[in-house]
Amino acid sequence: EVQLVESGGGLVEPGGSLRLSCAASGLTFSNYWMHWVRQAPGKGLVWVSRISPDGSITNYADSVKGRFTISRDSAKNTLYLQMNSLGAEDSAVYYCSARTSRTSPDYWGQGTLVTVSS
Amino acid sequence: DIQMTQSPSSLSASVGDRVTITCRASQSISTYLNWYQQKPGKAPKLLIYVASSLQSGVPSRFSGSGSGTDFTLTISSLQPEDFATYHCQQTYSTPLTFGGGTKVETK
């Protein structure tokens, strides 16, 4: 059974940093494109970032470019999202997802909540 | 960026109704379109991928169609567990944009 488990969310002050993790199991991690998607309270889904199976390609939404960094550790089957210079607009549930290609089904984690507030 | 426009943003329906939700892309995305169901406090659940492929385990009352810029999600006979919010997402190019969502509520 595929499992994606996010962690690392919490309360952080504006301007602060946070690193999210997504531990993957039940799949061959090195075959999957990994994504972060976020959802502010009561709002829709917003794609944040993705990383290629070998980590060589990364893409970001304009709203986080230059502030967020996606990375992965294949030895630990774990995806990361380093978030810097956080603002209130970054408050959301952050989900990780995995798919082998843009035409394949995907898997999602349960999400981790990030709240940016003083 | 490709804009995804979903309609309606909400609808009221009864058990047994046929429900149709549409998603329009601002440019052609071939069939690179997924549909998700989301219930409150839960992660999105994939229903349909590449516009019309039914995800394993998803009931056959769900179906998807379309290509290019216009797509449709149909629930042939609405069941009590189908009251939820539905999202479309294009996987054609980054940023992988979502539609605004359609909330299906009980009439």
pLDDT at residue A84, as a whole number: 98
pLDDT at residue B67, as a whole number: 98
CB pairs under 8 A between A and B: 53
Please write the tens of the pLDDT for every residue from B19-43: 999 999 999 999 999 999 999 999 9
CB B50 within 8 A of CB B35: no
> Is B83 an interface residue toward A (CB < 8 Å)?
no
Token pair listed for B39: 């219930």
Average per-residue pLDDT in chain A?
Answer: 97
Strand partners, B19: B75
pLDDT at residue B71, as a whole number: 98
pLDDT at residue B23, as a whole number: 98
CB B90 within 8 A of CB B2: yes
Average per-residue pLDDT in chain B?
Answer: 98
d(Cα B59, Cα B11) in Å, to the nearest integer? 21
CB B37 within 8 A of CB B54: no
* Residues of chain A predicted below pLDDT 50: none
> Is B102 an interface residue toward A (CB < 8 Å)?
no
